[in-house]
Structure 1
Amino acid sequence: MSFPLLTLTAAVPAAGAVVTAAVPAARRAAAKWVALGFSLATLVLAAVALVRFDPGGAHYQLTESHAWISDFGVRYELGVDGIAVTLVALTAVLVPFVILAGWHDADPLEEARPNRRWRPTQGFFALILMVEAMVVLSFEATDVFLFYVFFEAMLIPMYFLIGGFGDRAGGRTEEESATQRSYAAVKFLLYNLAGGLIMLAAVVGLYVVTADDLGSGTFSLQQITQARAAGQLDFATGTERLLFLGFFFAFAVKAPLWPLHTWLPGAMGEATAPVAVLITAVVDKVGTFAMLRFCLQLFPEASTWATPVILVLAVISIVYGALLAVGQRDIKRLIAYASVSHFGFIILGVFAMTSQGQSGATLYMVNHGISTAALMLVAGFLISRRGSRLIEDYGGVQKVAPVLAGTFLVGGLATLSLPGLAPFVSEFLVLVGTFSRYPALGAVATLGIVLAALYVLVLYQRTMTGPVRAEVRGMPDLRVRELAVVAPLVALLLFLGVYPKPLADIVNPAVDHTLSVVDKKDPRPDHPAPTDKGWFAYEPAGEHTSGGAK
């Protein structure tokens, strides 16, 4: 039996959540260090998994398979391809920074309730670790039912993080803040539960179809895709499309895709900045990842059938999210709407059905996670100093806190995909992949780039430049702990911006496999080719297979 590395990668943060929650009420500082230690141990395990993964090897690696609910064909099956192992690594990288950034976020609750049995600090960090465990298992699961369990289970700790530990900036009373937090948390939960219930119906339908064709029902992704490839499993067209819609709806809510996005701005606005990072940089990636792993591979014909509508919705998300970001007065809601726009780019790349588009979409998941974490966490440090989320309450910050302003600028420039920073490569690949097959949609999507430059630069100008407002005159610059959070994220943005090849080499084989399952090849450009007939001899337009990002 091979070493259960994937199980251990999820079990460590889960165990950390239990240990952190059990720390005595008076040992608040100890609880923080325990949580940080378990998150760093998870990072080490994720790094080992990334190193052990062989891009030229089997599609699913580090696999584990054990009987679970045998009567219903449910197995405990784990495995990672290049996309999954990269996203596991992203999650493991971000969570220690989330914990460090939120080091004091639960402290005011301790002061408000001095009862020694009241332990919000322990609860806050335990919930973060539990979310990490659920997300990691969602990336690793290759059994559809197992994936569904963790896809839904992560909602519970997220609900309590949003509703119980929300942002208290903005000059509102505690009662008003609690009401808004509760509303945002309930909306988050209801939207995602609705999507999950529809997916559950599709999961049951998938089991029924496999039982009819294979003699016994199964939820194994590998078994289903292999049976379809061998002609042993054949979905009726209408059935496949209904099942696809059930899965896709849940993933589109989680992603979030317009018009199912409305829970995100409220959740990110009312959550603390570290929890907002957990939402958009970690949890939401499960939705776009699942589109690649489950929608395209389980239902290739239905994915092709739905592609035109999904691409239109993705382009609407890009432009709509960017337009609303331009008009925001609240810093955190601006970043939330910017994320809606960025997730539109990711979904556009996934359903462009080209190697460049899907490679770009996968890299975008990673790079968006890092850039949004950098921008949101610095914004959180800024808001905690001033006590306001409103852009108009700032001005001249770069003169009193130049390091804070500089890191805020780097995060903002990464958000607008400035060349030299990590998101540029992924956004460029998404647009190239889209233009090659859907030039009109690619042209409209470029509006998102223009609008991103507008909302990021205007945000920086209004908060960081100009005369120093009296309220920010004594604002301290970034402290050592805050620099320890931001500096590695900035370094990652620079490194992956100039040298994305290590990640691309891991991702590309998984992208090629996904395209082969949906029977899609890259369009062959209709242009002069250097053949033996000369540069001016045209090759007939058609399709060919090519790698993604190199």
Structure 2
Amino acid sequence: MLSAVVFLPVAVAVVLLAVPRTSDRLVRWLWIAATAIDLALVVGLWIGYSPGPGGFAYEVNVKWIPSISSGYHLGVDGLSLPLVALTAVLFLACAVYSFRDSDRLRSYAALFLFLQTVCLGLFVALDLILFFVFFDLSIVGMYFVIAGWGHRNAAKAALKFFLYTFLGSLALLLGFIGLYLAATPHTFDIVELARQAPLTGTGFAGAAVLIALGIGFAIKTPTVPFHTWLPPAHTEAPAAGSAILAGVLLKMGTYGFVRIMMPVLPDTWRRYAIVFVFVGVVSVIYGALVSLAQRDFKRMIAYTSVNHMGYILLAVGAAGIVASSTAQAREIAVTGAVTQMVSHGLITGALFLLSGVLYQRGQTYEMDSYGGLAGTAPRFAGLTALAAFASLGLPGFSGFIAEFQIFTGSLGSAPVSTVVAFLGILVTAALFLRAFQKIFLGPYRAPTDRVGDITVVEGVAIVPLIAAAVVIGIFPRFLLEVIEPASRIVVTLVGR
């Protein structure tokens, strides 16, 4: 069943490209149907989720490249299942949001379906080579989305995105080879590598592999100072592309920290955990302050991703400072990090789709070009306000649940860093309130005569994302009960 979830979207993409003279109407409905069926299958996975002795469910392990001990090894646990569900939800939202699009729609839909398979495959991969294949293919897919359907400077932004993230993938490959060579017997299997922890006590070799993996995942996340590809990529990408880039692709980096680096390099992670805490705090404060300075609404949202990813890095770094905290605190930090991945995906995905609504109405993201839109577009204003409040971590939304756990779990082991990171919430509140005031309050001002309200199609795409953030914020138990056992296993592995 797991293979069906992963490969259903790309199978539909192949059908779309193979059938000649497909009408745009048929493409739209096939795209939506494929993503809706995939989401239904993921819901089935969630309902039937029952991890085995190793912590994984729905495992598939078949020999793939026997000469290097690389297998087609798939499985889900509490770290990956929430991200698989997030991926399915966001791709369905983007399919619905793109219902009115007509620009080379068949190719556009096929690219998104290809990207969906790649993203799902990465989150369920339990083999480093398989993980790397999906990681690299995600770069290719998003490059064509930005370059082919982006705005005026899309080609330049897409090239910068590709070169930066491809460099990160090369660093990852070097790290993966280092792990393979250190293992006895040699293997690329993530579960076996976590059991062996082959570089424990090796000093320089462990540090070198940690640096290679850290650079690769930090570029993808992205954290300061590897973030410079992100703002232009988001600014130039189509709204649906930005929603997937921020909501799903960035999580490939943060997921790599908790799936690979922490359990496979426990000794080295503990030794250098404070470095990740420091980078996380710098990303939190820098991302928030630079967001506050933006005049472009979409670019502002892009920089808030640097801020929110910084919280995740703070948490996973704090979870590695074993001597200064209890196992329970470290579990809370890791749980908060995974919850933040899900929360950020839902909320920032909604914000980027809302930025697309703004651009469709006025053909610009410049906030100074708008004012008083709440009068002509009250539903648009209301949804934007909800998404903004959710992003700054207001109680009642998923962001509060995630950030509360991150701060609670990190305070004991990294008190100064955690207190400094608190300031990021204040700056985030200021930047979103400032943006809302500029665009929606005051006298009416817009590049067009009248800015229309949210359409039914746009509402059907965006409202469920915000609703999901509210459900997690009020009833988080169904999510936390899945994440917490997996977080406990990670903390146990790191503490060996």
Distance of aligned partners of 1:490 and 1:77 in 2 relative to their CA distance in 1, 3 Å threshold: same
The answer to whether the Cα contact below 8 Å between 2:240 and 2:353 also exists between their aligned partners in 1 is yes
C-alpha distance after superposition, 1:354-400 (max 9, x if no partner):
11111111000001111111211112112101111100011010000
2:29 and 2:481 mapped to 1: Cα distance?
35
Question: In the alignment, which residue of structure 2 is the partner of 1:62?
Answer: 58
* Aligned counterparts, 1:505-544, within 5 A: 505-519=481-495
Structure 2 CA distance for aligned equivalents of residues 227 and 490 of structure 1:
42
Alignment of 1:179-198 (within 5 A): 180-198=153-171
Question: Higher mean Cα deviation, 199-208 or 139-148?
Answer: 199-208
Q: Which of these residues, 417, 422, 440, is aligned with residue 416 of structure 2? A: 440
Q: Distance in 2 between matches of 1:201 and 1:227?
A: 19
Between the aligned partners of 2:38 and 2:93, the Cα distance in structure 1 is 13
The answer to whether structure 1 residue 239 and structure 2 residue 205 are counterparts is yes
Shift of 1:222: 1.6
Give the TM-score, by structure 1 length: 0.86
SS of equivalent to 1:399? coil
13, 21, 28: which one aligns with 2:24: 28
Q: CA deviation at 1:461?
A: 0.2
Q: Deviations over 1:316-337 (max 9, x none)?
A: 1000000010010111100000
Shift of the alpha carbon at 1:41?
A: 1.2
User: TM-score, normalization: structure 2?
Assistant: 0.95
Report the secondary structure of 1:466's partner residue: coil
Q: Distance in 1 between matches of 2:359 and 2:84?
A: 30
Pick aligned residue for 1:203 from 160, 169, 176: 176
Alpha-carbon spacing, 1:519–1:478, altered in 2? closer, same or farther (3 Å): same
1:396-423 CA distances to partner (integer Å, 9 max, x unpaired)?
A: 1000010011001101111111111111
Contact 2:59 2:73 in 1 (8 A): yes
The answer as to whether partners of 1:409 and 1:460 remain within 8 angstroms in 2 is yes
> Partners of 1:124 and 1:93 in 2: how far apart?
18
Cα contact 1:241–1:299 (8 A) shared by 2: no
- Whether the 8 Å CA contact 1:361–1:430 is kept in 2: the answer is yes
Could you tell me which of 110, 114, 122 is aligned with 1:138?
Answer: 122
Identical-residue share of aligned pairs (%): 33
Shift of 1:30: 1.1
Give 1:278 deviation, angstroms.
0.5
Q: Indicate the residue corresponding to 1:267 in structure 2.
A: 233
- What residue in structure 2 maps to residue 126 of structure 1? 110
Q: What does residue 217 of structure 1 align with?
A: 186
**C-alpha offsets along residues 150-209 of structure 1, whole Å, 9 cap, x if unaligned?**
111111111000111113xxxxxxxxx1xx111110111101111111111122222222
* 2:148 paired residue number: 164
Task: Supply the distance in 1 between the matched residues of 2:306 and 2:95 (Cα, whole angstroms).
Answer: 24
Helix, strand or coil at the partner of 2:374? helix
Note the C-alpha offset of 1:55.
5.9
- Alignment check: 8 A CA contact 1:56 1:509 kept: no
State the distance in 2 between where 1:336 and 1:202 align: 29
My pick for the range that moved more, 478-487 or 467-476, is 467-476
Distance in 2, matches of 1:248 and 1:259, equals 12
How many pairs were matched up? 486
The CA deviation at 1:23 is 4.1
Alignment of 1:152 with 2:136, yes or no, is yes
Distance in 1 of aligned mates of 2:217 and 2:167: 11
1:332 aligned residue: 298
Distance 1:241 1:192 in 2: 22
Indicate whether 1:425 and 2:401 are aligned.
yes
Look up the match of 1:41.
37
What SS does structure 1 have at the residue aligned with 2:100? coil
SS in structure 1 of the partner of residue 223 of structure 2: coil
Structure 1, unaligned runs of 5 or more: 110-119, 168-176, 521-550
Structure (1 or 2) with the larger CA radius of gyration = 1
Structure number with the bigger relative contact order (C-alpha 8 A, sep ≥ 6) is 2
Pairwise CA distance, 1:24: 3.2
Whether the aligned pair in 2 keeps the contact of 1:394 and 1:472 (CA below 8 Å) is no
- Name the counterpart of 1:312: 278
Is residue 192 of structure 2 the alignment partner of residue 226 of structure 1?
no
What residue is the counterpart of 1:85 in the other structure? Answer: 81
Give the match's secondary structure for 2:63: strand
SS for the counterpart of 1:446 is: helix
Instruction: Rate the CA distance shift 1:234–1:339 in 2: closer, same or farther, 3 A.
Output: closer
| TM-fit CA distance, 1:226 | 2.3
Contact in 1 for aligned 2:200/2:265 (Cα 8 Å): no
Which residue in the other structure is 1:278 paired with?
A: 244
Does the CA-based 8 Å contact 1:400-1:476 persist in structure 2? yes
Q: Check whether the contact 1:255–1:284 (CA below 8 A) recurs between aligned residues.
A: yes
How far does the alpha carbon of each residue in 1:11-31 deviate from its partner, in whole angstroms, 9 at most, with x for none? Answer: 101112212223434512211
**1:412-491, aligned counterparts within 5 Å?**
412-469=388-445, 471-491=447-467
Q: 2: distance between equivalents of 1:23 and 1:500?
A: 44
Deviation string 1:422-446 (CA, Å, 9 cap, x unpaired) is 1111011111111121110011001
Query: Can you list the C-alpha shifts for 1:290-331, whole angstroms capped at 9, x where unaligned?
Result: 100100011011111221111111101000000010010111
In 2, distance between residues paired with 1:470 and 1:233?
59
Change (3 A) 1:56 1:457: farther
Distance 1:331 1:495 in 2: 27
1:375 to 339, 346, 351: 351
Segment drifting more, 253-262 vs 351-360: 351-360
How much does 1:57 deviate?
A: 5.9
What residue is the counterpart of 2:327 in the other structure? Answer: none
SS in 2 for 1:75: strand
- 1 CA distance for matches of 2:252 and 2:406? 19
Distance 1:255 1:481 in 2: 31
Identify unmatched segments of 5+ residues in structure 2.
Answer: 320-329
Partner Cα separation in structure 2 for residue 29 and residue 188 of structure 1: 32
CA contact (8 A) 1:55 1:509 kept: no
Could you tell which deviates more after superposition, 238-247 or 67-76? 238-247
In structure 2, the residue corresponding to 1:240 is in which secondary structure? helix
Bigger shift: 201-210 or 445-454? Answer: 201-210
- 8 Å contact from structure 2 (residues 295, 367) kept in 1: yes
1:340 CA displacement: 0.6
Alignment CA distance shift 1:223-1:58 (3 Å) = closer
Distance in structure 1 (CA, Å) of the matches to 2:271 and 2:200: 16
| Partner residue of 1:10 out of 2, 6, 27 | 6
> Does 2:385 align with 1:409?
yes
CA distance in 2, matches of 1:103, 1:326: 33
Alignment partners' CA distance in 2, 1:361 and 1:384: 34
Whole-angstrom CA distance in 1 between matches of 2:353 and 2:21: 27
Query: Are the equivalent residues in 1 in contact too, given 2:354–2:384 (CA < 8 A)?
Result: yes
Residues in 1 aligned to 2:181 and 2:332: alpha-carbon distance in whole angstroms: 36
